[in-house]
Amino acid sequence: MYAGSLESEHDTVWLMLQDDILLGAAVLMQVLDEAHLQNFFINAKQQGRGLGGQLLRHVLLQARQQGAGSVFLEVRASNRVALQLYQRAGFIQYSTRKAYYRHPDGSREDAILMKADL
């Protein structure tokens, strides 16, 4: 997916690095004034230090500078930390996709669809 994003004219990939350590990454797909946050993570060993908030603010600022008017994303309903992070950054829930994610045991989980106007 990252290889595909690096080759796509619509995608921007951010890597948050400290020396040679990968702290986190974000992938944003943007077409005209609409952007989609495709992937977003902080290295498991570095979580809970405010880096997620820092990277997200940077991505949203850059998206606005690249002409985005709104950013969309989807997140698992059980992902409380990510939901809180996105809400603090100004995202609101606009819909739910029922049973969108499938767990290895066959159970399903809803996707929360969120949007932020920049």
Ligand X SMILES: CC(C)(COP(=O)(O)OP(=O)(O)OC[C@H]1O[C@@H](n2cnc3c(N)ncnc32)[C@H](O)[C@@H]1OP(=O)(O)O)[C@@H](O)C(=O)NCCC(=O)NCCS
Q: Interface with ligand X by CB under 6 A: which residues?
A: 40-42, 47-53, 75, 79, 81-82, 84-85, 88
Find the shortest distance in angstroms from Cβ 28 to ligand X.
Answer: 13
Any alpha helices (H) in 13-107, and if so which ranges? 51-65, 80-88
Least distance from ligand X to the Cβ atom of residue 65, Å: 22
Q: Does 2 qualify as catalytic in the annotation?
A: no
86 as an active site residue: the answer is: yes
- 66-91 in b/e form (b: 16+ CB < 10 A) is eebeebbbbbebeeeebbebbeebeb
Q: Which residue from 61, 71, 58 is spatially nearest to 16, judged by alpha carbons? A: 58
Q: What does the block give as tokens for 103?
A: 């767990």
Options 74, 100, 101, 109, the catalytic residue: 74
Nearer to ligand X, 5 or 47 (CB): 47
Which of the residues 2, 7, 34, 86 is marked catalytic?
A: 86
Cβ proximity to ligand X: between 59 and 82 the closer is 82
Give me the active site residues, please.
74, 86
